[in-house]
Amino acid sequence: MRFERYGAGLVKGMIVTFKHLLRHPITTQYPEQRLVPSRRTRGNELIWNSAKCVVCTTCAKTCPQGAIHMVTAVDPANANKLTITTIEVDSGYCISCGLCVESCPYNALHMGYAYEKAKYRRQELVQSNEGLLATETRKASAYMHADMEKELPEQTLLINNKQQG
């Protein structure tokens, strides 16, 4: 009797196994295959627009992690104005909460679009000055900036991948 029950379970298990064997794979072969993240993703770096920034330091004060460090100075060309001499974001402390982006009153800060940022050295996790500016490879996401969505590629999902495959 016991043997019969064991056999039935084995058959059921094999049926499940065969179903999975015939199913289309739903995983991707990373890193050869990469999915495109959401256009409003909160990537693991920040993008700063120095032209829009008015050096109010709101972002640094808002950060719950103390991950943004700013050094300001009086603008030599205008004594009523401040300039940033150093801006650093330690992405090793950043939890990608997006509060700094939400708090910026001049839309000068964006969440990055990238999600791969493994580094060999701790210091390389700190973005500073020019390292915070947008480049061809370092793009801003549309998080908190829905108007930027049209410039970004459509998100691919595992389910899309399945249909395409």
97 lies in the site for ligand SF4, by CB under 6 A: yes
Nearest distance from residue 110's CB to ligand SF4, in Å? 10
Give the count of alpha carbons within 13 A of 19, CB side only.
Answer: 6
Q: Within positions 104 to 133, which residues make up the interface with ligand SF4, using CB under 6 A?
A: 104, 106, 108-109
Alpha-carbon dihedral 38, 40, 44, 45, rounded to 10 degrees: 130
Nearest distance from residue 95's CB to ligand SF4, in Å? 5
Among 47, 63, 148, 152, binds ligand SF4 (CB under 6 A): 63
What is d(CA 38, CA 115) in angstroms, rounded to the nearest whole number? 11
Nearest distance from residue 126's CB to ligand SF4, in Å? 12
What is d(CA 65, CA 152) in angstroms, rounded to the nearest whole number? 29
Residue 26, φ and ψ in degrees, nearest 5: -110, 10
Among 67, 140, 142, 148, binds ligand SF4 (CB under 6 A): 67
Give the Cα-Cα-Cα angle 144, 149, 126 (nearest 5 degrees).
Answer: 55
Q: Which residues bind ligand SF4 (CB under 6 A)?
A: 53-59, 62-63, 65, 67-68, 89, 94-100, 104, 106, 108-109
